[in-house]
Each structure stands twice: as structure tokens, then as C-alpha cells.
């Protein structure tokens, strides 16, 4: 018997037995839970063939059918299921006390850009209940999903594409409480994206500008006339980024091109998994290439020599004391791409780095503790950080821009 029909018959039988108590089944062992367990691996293909009401019955039976691990296995269905299934399982997980597990999965999927179109559309519609997930990572996940779809089904306008364009509040919700630099980066990515026609692109950009009017020049074309804020970076971190870019351009992208050519030779691109996977990787590589080019263009290398220690500057070691907790903290405030919490090295662009910059010895600075509460710390010393001795190309822009960056 066809699996979907088996579910139909079992549910219909149970309904009949419920209405007519005098009837009895001759197949006591054939229960909905048993059928779910037997067909678990095929549920993704079976459930869309059931009516909405019967699909709901099957999904609501998951906890009893799958036992203690039902939530973990239900999350796998969310990651691959259609829209109706995603909504139903999310509801069941919430009612079953698995809200945290669902949130963790959604956060990971958006951060890693692996969320499916159906998950994202559901999240749009339910965002009032998931405000902590409505971040710039969500836009990145949307664009990644649309790029995957563009390669898999070129020329087709998807539900996700329409949902993004038609939901005029979504981008405003995503960017209303974030740093303007993140909004600027998102606008640049939208400008470079081949996913939208020019009219749609300008409409999406305008929604971000509504939150940050100062970014209007990016639409009007005046952005190129403005001076981009430089990134002050250590020579060592700059060399690492350059090495990553070199490997990307000279090794990874050429290898990917060969993989695409080889996969194309297998024919029938609509059913060619190798071709689709290689094209998806191409999108990832080209996006990273554009990001690195922008980062390297704005980077200003420095060795952190001759820094101003009369106040907290980029390239200083700052010692703080909290009198109430009788606790001292030391931070090495270094370049934008430097960060090693175990060695107390932080970027000047982090929340702590920004809070400390330009303050002098004796001044109080409010910082969040490891418990998430705010506390007052007093700056008790400012020392120069050890110089970065990494060799660098002489034509790269260096620390002359450090003070200008701080001023900006």
C-alpha cells in the first residue's frame, strides 16, 4: 500500500472507532505511532500528500511515536519541510516546552545561511514572537537561500523572493537596532546582488534608508564621493587577510571552476547534484571575495608604535578596577581584526573597545560584566602595547590614519 494511503486509512479508522465505541479493530498493533516510527525516514515525502488536518494529526503524534528524542528528530523535519509543516512543528515544539531548542536551531540556520525558504518565510510571519532572531544575519540567510534557488531554478520568482519584496516592514525590523556600519554593509551587498532588478533593489535599499537617513547617499550615488571610514588593523592580521584572499583567488575559485566544468559534463543539470553543489559553493566563494576586497580596500596597517598613552588609544594596554567587586581587568585594545579573549586582546570595534577609547586615567567607564549587568570600572593605567613586528609591503597605508579613524 502507498505510505500516504496507509496514514489516511489509519487516521480514518481511528476516527471511526472514536465515533462508534462498539467497533473494534482487528489490527491492534497498527497504530498511528507505529506507522510514524516505521515510516520516519519517508515522512518528508509522505506528509505533503496528506490533507492539512491529517498532517496535523501525524505531527501531533510525534512525541508519543518517537519518544524522548522526538524534539531533536522533529527539528530535522523543520530544517527540510514545507511551509505548513514548519509552522505546525514549531507550534508543537513550543507547546512541548522545546522553545529553546527551536530557537537554537533557528539561530544556527540563519547564522550559517543554511535556513530553507520555508523556514525563512515562516520566520517572517512569526517575527513578533522571535524578535531576537530578526537581525542582519537573517538578511544574509535570505540572500543565500535566494542565490541557491537562482542556481537550482533560474528564471523562477520564488515565494521567498515575493515575501521579501512584499513585506515592507521586514528590513526596517531587521536594522532598527543595529550599528549603522552593519546597515551600510547590507546595502552594499544588496547593490552588488544579481537577485533583483534595479527598481526592486532601490525599493529594498530605501527601506533601510528609512531607518538610517544618513545612508541615503548610497542610493543617490553620492556614497563614492564620501571618504570611507578606514579600518585600523595590525600588520599581522592584514597579512592573514591578504593570504586568505590570495588562496581564494589563486586556489579555491579556480578549483571550483574546474568542479563546475566537470559537473556540467555529466549532463542533465536539473538532476545534477554535483553541479548544484559546485554552483552554490561558487556563490559562497564570490561573496567572500567581494567581502575581502572591500575589507582590504579600507584597511590601514599599523605596528602600534608611538601610541598616545595619555588616553585609551588603539595599541594600548588598559587596566581597569571595579571597587565594588574588588576586581581588576586588563585589555589590549588593538586593531579591527585582532581578537583573542584568552589573552585579553580585543578589537577597538568591539563594545568594550568603543567604550574605552579616548578615556583617560582616573575616568569611570560603564561596562557589562560576565553576568550581563552593568558596572563602573575606573581606568588605573594605560600602557603601550608591544609593537607588531610583522614585515609588510611598503606601499600599504599605515598608522598615519589611526588618529583620524579615532576622531571619526
**Grid coordinates in use for 66?**
518517537
Question: Above 70 in pLDDT, residue 28?
Answer: no
Whether 405 is in a domain gets the answer no
Give the pLDDT score at 372: 56
Task: Based on the fold, state whether residues 219 and 251 are members of the same structural domain.
Answer: no
Same domain (yes/no): 292, 325: no
- Domain that includes residue 359, residue range: 316-387
Burial of 182 (0-12, 13-18, 19+ CB in 10 A): middle
So what's the pLDDT on residue 393?
Answer: 53
pLDDT number for residue 408: 40
What is the distance between the terminal CA atoms of the chain, rounded to a whole angstrom?
Answer: 71
Alpha helices in 167-252 (DSSP H): 170-175, 180-192, 198-211, 217-220, 235-247
Distances (CA, A) of 310 to 317, 360, 380: 12, 6, 12
- 277 inside domain: yes
Q: Residue 401 corresponds to which cell in the numbers above?
A: 590614519
The phi and psi torsions of 357 (rounded to 5 degrees) equal -55, 135
Residue 134 CB neighbour total at 10 angstroms: 20
Q: Is the pLDDT assigned to residue 386 strictly greater than 80?
A: yes
Residue 224, pLDDT above cutoff 70: no
Are both 129 and 217 inside the same structural domain?
A: yes
**Same domain assignment for residues 330 and 289:** no
The answer on pLDDT for 51 being more than 50 is: yes
Q: Say whether pLDDT at 341 is over 60.
A: yes
Is residue 55 scored above 60 in pLDDT? yes
Average pLDDT over residues 14-23: 78
Per-residue pLDDT tens for 298-336? 899 999 999 999 999 999 999 999 878 888 999 999 999
Could you tell me the pLDDT band of residue 370, with boundaries at 50, 70 and 90? low
Q: What is the mean pLDDT of the chain?
A: 83
Domain count, the chain: 4
> What is the band of 156 on the pLDDT scale with cuts at 50, 70, 90?
low
CATH number of the domain encompassing residue 268: 1.10.287.180
**Cell matching residue 190:** 544588496
Same-domain pairing of 287 and 330: no
* Claim to verify: residue 222 and residue 133 sit in the same structural domain: yes
Q: Residue 376: inside a domain, yes or no?
A: yes
Distance in angstroms (rounded) separating the CA atoms of residues 375 and 155: 55
Per-residue confidence at 357, pLDDT binned at 50, 70, 90? very high
Question: Of 246, 225, 350, which is closest to residue 293 (Cα–Cα)?
Answer: 246
- From 196, 226, 256, the end of a domain falls on 226
Please give the pLDDT value at position 222: 40
Helix (H, G, I), strand (E, B) or coil at 334: strand
Asked if 83 and 122 count as a contact pair (C-beta separation under 8 A), the reply is yes
In SS3 terms, 262-285 reads as HHHCCCCHHHCHHHHHHHHHHHHH
- Examine the pLDDT at 400 and tell me if it is beyond 50: no
Q: Are residues 34 and 83 in the same domain?
A: yes
Q: What is the mean pLDDT of residues 47-57?
A: 84
Backbone angles phi, psi at 324, to 5 degrees: -65, -40
Whether the pLDDT of residue 151 is over 50: the answer is: yes
Instruction: Tell whether the model's pLDDT for residue 279 goes beyond 90.
Output: no
Residues 209-220 have a mean pLDDT of 86
Calpha distance 257→342 (Å, rounded): 39
**pLDDT, mean of residues 96-122:** 86
Residue 278 near residue 374 (C-beta atoms within 8 A):
no
| Residue 242 forms part of a structural domain | no
Average confidence (pLDDT) over 184-208: 88
Mean pLDDT of 163-187: 91
**What pLDDT does residue 373 have?**
66
Asked whether residue 100 carries a pLDDT value surpassing 80, the answer given is yes
Last residue of a domain, one of 226, 258, 282: 226
The pLDDT, as a whole number, for residue 398 is 42
Give the model's pLDDT for residue 157: 66
pLDDT band at 110; cut points 50, 70, 90: confident
pLDDT of residue 1: 59
Question: Which pLDDT score is estimated for 15?
Answer: 75
Q: Do residues 321 and 327 make contact, with C-beta atoms less than 8 angstroms apart?
A: yes
Residue 63 lies in a domain: yes
Q: Are residues 170 and 263 in the same domain?
A: no
**Are 300 and 405 spatial neighbours (Cβ–Cβ below 8 Å)?**
yes
Which stretch of 71-80, 123-132, 139-148 has the lowest confidence by average pLDDT? 71-80
Inside any domain, residue 114: no
Average pLDDT, integer, range 44-60 = 83
pLDDT band at residue 255, thresholds of 50, 70 and 90? very high
Proportion of the chain above pLDDT 90, given as a percent? 29
Confidence band of 381 (pLDDT split at 50, 70, 90): very high
For residue 404, the model assigns a pLDDT of: 44
Residue 42 has pLDDT above 90, yes or no: no
CB atoms within 10 A of CB 160: 19
The reply to whether 137 and 78 lie within a common domain is no
The cell for 376 is 563602573
Residues 35 and 127 in one domain: no
> In the chain, what percentage of residues exceed pLDDT 70?
88
Residues 288 and 322 in one domain: no
Residues 6 or more apart whose Cβ sits within 8 Å of residue 265: none
Q: Stretch 359-365: mean pLDDT, rounded?
A: 94
Q: What is the predicted pLDDT for the residue at 226?
A: 42
What span, in angstroms and rounded, lies between the C-alpha atoms of 308 and 301?
17
Q: Are residues 283 and 202 in the same domain?
A: no
Domain presence at residue 104: no
302: three-class secondary structure by DSSP = strand
Q: Is 198 a domain residue?
A: yes
Amino acid at each position: 500500500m502507498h505510505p500516504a494511503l496507509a496514514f489516511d486509512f489509519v487516521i480514518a479508522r481511528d476516527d471511526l472507532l472514536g465515533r462508534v465505541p462498539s467497533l473494534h479493530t482487528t489490527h491492534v498493533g497498527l497504530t498511528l505511532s507505529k506507522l510514524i516510527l516505521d515510516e520516519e525516514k519517508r515522512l518528508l515525502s509522505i506528509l505533503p500528500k496528506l490533507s492539512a488536518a491529517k498532517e496535523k494529526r501525524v505531527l501531533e503524534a510525534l512525541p508519543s511515536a518517537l519518544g524522548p528524542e522526538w524534539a531533536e528528530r522533529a527539528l530535522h523535519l523543520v530544517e527540510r519541510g514545507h511551509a505548513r509543516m514548519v509552522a505546525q512543528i514549531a507550534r508543537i515544539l513550543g507547546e512541548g516546552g522545546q522553545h529553546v531548542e527551536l530557537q537554537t536551531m533557528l539561530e544556527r540556520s540563519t547564522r550559517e545561511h543554511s535556513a530553507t525558504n520555508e523556514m525563512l518565510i515562516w520566520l517572517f510571519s512569526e517575527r513578533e514572537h522571535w524578535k531576537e532572531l530578526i537581525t542582519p544575519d537573517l538578511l544574509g540567510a535570505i540572500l543565500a537561500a535566494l542565490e541557491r534557488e537562482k542556481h537550482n531554478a533560474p528564471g523562477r520568482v520564488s515565494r521567498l523572493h515575493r515575501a521579501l519584496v512584499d513585506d515592507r516592514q521586514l528590513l526596517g525590523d531587521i536594522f532598527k537596532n543595529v550599528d549603522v556600519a552593519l546597515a551600510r554593509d547590507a546595502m552594499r551587498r544588496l547593490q552588488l546582488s544579481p537577485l533583483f532588478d534595479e527598481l526592486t533593489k532601490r525599493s529594498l535599499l530605501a527601506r533601510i534608508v528609512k531607518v538610517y537617513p544618513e545612508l541615503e547617499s548610497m542610493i543617490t550615488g553620492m556614497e563614492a564621493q564620501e571618504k570611507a571610514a578606514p579600518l585600523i588593523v595590525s600588520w599581522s592580521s592584514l597579512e592573514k587577510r591578504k593570504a586568505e584572499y590570495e588562496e581564494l583567488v589563486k586556489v579555491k575559485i579556480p578549483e571550483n571552476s574546474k568542479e563546475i566544468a566537470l559537473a556540467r559534463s555529466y549532463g542533465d543539470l536539473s538532476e545534477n547534484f554535483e553541479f548544484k553543489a559546485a554552483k552554490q559553493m561558487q556563490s559562497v566563494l564570490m561573496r567572500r571575495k567581494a567581502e575581502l576586497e572591500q575589507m582590504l580596500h579600507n584597511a590601514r596597517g599599523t605596528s602600534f608604535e608611538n601610541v598616545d598613552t595619555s588616553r585609551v588609544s588603539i595599541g594600548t594596554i588598559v587596566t581597569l578596577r571595579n571597587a565594588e567587586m574588588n576586581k581588576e581587568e586588563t585589555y589590549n585594545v588593538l586593531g579591527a581584526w585582532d581578537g583573542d579573549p584568552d589573552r585579553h586582546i580585543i578589537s577597538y570595534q568591539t563594545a568594550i573597545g568603543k567604550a574605552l577609547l579616548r578615556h583617560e586615567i582616573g575616568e569611570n567607564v560603564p561596562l557589562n560584566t560576565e553576568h550581563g549587568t552593568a558596572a563602573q570600572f575606573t581606568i588605573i593605567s594605560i600602557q603601550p602595547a608591544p609593537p607588531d613586528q610583522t614585515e609588510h609591503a611598503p606601499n600599504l597605508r599605515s598608522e598615519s590614519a589611526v588618529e583620524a579613524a579615532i576622531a571619526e
